[in-house]
Structure 1
């Protein structure tokens, strides 16, 4: 017997967050999300002020067998002139019947909300947050803020009639196995940009509030042509920035600026998943916090999380300068590997640039869609 219920209590929310820990308890590549971060995301994130979300738990024979969230993202529909719904936070045992009940529940909920076009996912809550179903690259753990799932999820989703919308690619470098042309040309590139009064600098953490205001404008302009993009409002970007500030390294948060105007930025983050992997069930207390504090210096990987330049300033060498500076500091700091991602499979310009510096497309995530 399969039963799907809406999450409505603190205990059910805890069960919803904890289910993947039990599902993947024997998976060597699984990394638990921090409980407090997931709880706040599902209950306190500014997204909830202007959009709707309902989480569901599936039980089979009295035991938790799956979870999913139905998401109505009004900002997406307004910006893209659509009437779509989304699914996210999908985890399930290898059981087609359980998956069918979960997806049908999402479809019915979205129909009640007036959605008439497509259901898209997985996204948690949009492409601004972790998204995509892992379809290639199951032989390593996810890097910070990447999704993870077992290979059988592909069949679970596709048997429900979902088809590929677009693939997202993550790129990898091991050790010094990269083309350092952008590093060798860094001085030349910087001089060229300087003639146009453009400089590359570190983020100013002492003036982080004002930096965040300018960075939000760049973020919403630099990615606005990407498939499925949703602009972030002030509160949402501040929420993200506040979280990132806790873990960012100023040496890897770079700003391209022309006479006080920010025209691009590059952000690489230490891979805290290397620590989170050791924190049982994502609980920082009582001992997880010590693992976090004591092992920060042992992190050996970075993730190039975002790198973008606004229209009118592209192809001037800013992108190469940002990449070159990150690579140079990666080498100086002794990191052993790096990930860049994700990028859209149809972003030929940026993908070719990554291939040119020997990026290895080692993981692929997929966004699916289905007519409602």
Structure 2
């Protein structure tokens, strides 16, 4: 007998967070999210001050078989002049009836909140956070801040009438893929930018507060035309910056600047998923914290987390310079893999910049939609 319940109590929230650990316990590519990070994301993130989320769990004979979150993103609707609803945190056994129950209760909840247009996802909460359903590249674990799911999820979702809204592409480099030709291209681009008084510099951690204010403005301007984009509030960006600073390597946080004006930036992070993969059920205590502290030096890869250039400075080669400088630095520091993602499939300029320095499109994620 199946039943579905809303997630309201601390105990139910813990069960909601923990369900994927049980679902993927035999999957060698699964990486558990840190429990404390997921709990704070679902309860303390500034997103909740102006938007609404409701989680649901399906039980069958007292065993959880699926979860979903219905998300009313008022910021998205106001910015895009829409009346859409979203789903996220979707995980499910390979059972169409269970999936149907989850999406029905999420859709009904959104309709009760007045949503009348599209039902979109998966996003956790928006494209500013982890999003997209993995549809290509199941042969390796996800890198930091990427989603993961079994191949059958696509059938469960598409059988319920969802269709593709857009695909997101993840790129990678391995070993010596970034060759001498790419280095020469990077040097030539940097020289050309200098003639326009544009330089690439590292972030100043001693003045991180002011850097954050400037980067927030660039972030909200650089991505404003992207499908699904929602500007981050000051509080949301500060929350993100505070978290990133804990794991930030200034060698991988680059700023494109013209005579003191920031016109673009690129941030790469060590791939902490290599450590998280070893932390059972995402618990830092009692032993997970030691794995995190003592294994940082063993991380072999990086993830280019965000990279963008504001309007008026695109098509100048800044994007390729930011990507190229990060890739050149990752090799210098002894990393063996680098991941760039995601990029929108229709962002031709960025995708060409990555292809120019030998990026390999190795994973694809999909965002779905249907009329609610």
* TM-score normalised per structure 2: 0.98
| 1:137 alignment partner in structure 2 | 137
Between the aligned partners of 2:201 and 2:172, the Cα distance in structure 1 is 25
Decide whether the 8 Å contact of 2:169 with 2:342 is kept in 1. Answer: yes
Decide whether the 8 Å contact of 2:35 with 2:282 is kept in 1. Answer: yes
Query: C-alpha offsets along residues 253-280 of structure 1, whole Å, 9 cap, x if unaligned?
Result: 0001112211000111110000000000
| 1:63 alignment partner in structure 2 | 63
Decide whether the 8 Å contact of 2:315 with 2:349 is kept in 1. Answer: no
Decide whether the 8 Å contact of 1:17 with 1:39 is kept in 2. Answer: yes
Between the aligned partners of 1:227 and 1:180, the Cα distance in structure 2 is 35
Between the aligned partners of 1:35 and 1:365, the Cα distance in structure 2 is 24
- Confirm or deny that 1:292 pairs with 2:292: yes
1:205 is displaced (CA, Å) by 1.0
Between the aligned partners of 2:88 and 2:290, the Cα distance in structure 1 is 31
1:318 is displaced (CA, Å) by 1.5
| 1:202 alignment partner in structure 2 | 202
1:193 is displaced (CA, Å) by 2.2
Between the aligned partners of 1:289 and 1:121, the Cα distance in structure 2 is 33
Query: C-alpha offsets along residues 294-315 of structure 1, whole Å, 9 cap, x if unaligned?
Result: 1101110111111111011112
| 2:225 alignment partner in structure 1 | 225
| 1:161 alignment partner in structure 2 | 161
The Cα RMSD (Å) is: 1.1
SS of the residue 1:116 aligns to: coil
Between the aligned partners of 1:258 and 1:352, the Cα distance in structure 2 is 23
| 1:35 alignment partner in structure 2 | 35
| 1:275 alignment partner in structure 2 | 275
Gaps of 5+ in 2: none
1:179 is displaced (CA, Å) by 4.1
Decide whether the 8 Å contact of 1:46 with 1:239 is kept in 2. Answer: yes
Between the aligned partners of 1:180 and 1:367, the Cα distance in structure 2 is 37
Gaps of 5+ in 1: none
| 2:350 alignment partner in structure 1 | 350
SS of the residue 1:308 aligns to: strand
Query: C-alpha offsets along residues 64-85 of structure 1, whole Å, 9 cap, x if unaligned?
Result: 1111000000111111111000
Residues 27-36 or 284-293, more deviating: 284-293
1:181 is displaced (CA, Å) by 3.6
| 1:44 alignment partner in structure 2 | 44
Between the aligned partners of 1:322 and 1:99, the Cα distance in structure 2 is 42
| 1:2 alignment partner in structure 2 | 2
- Confirm or deny that 1:170 pairs with 2:186: no
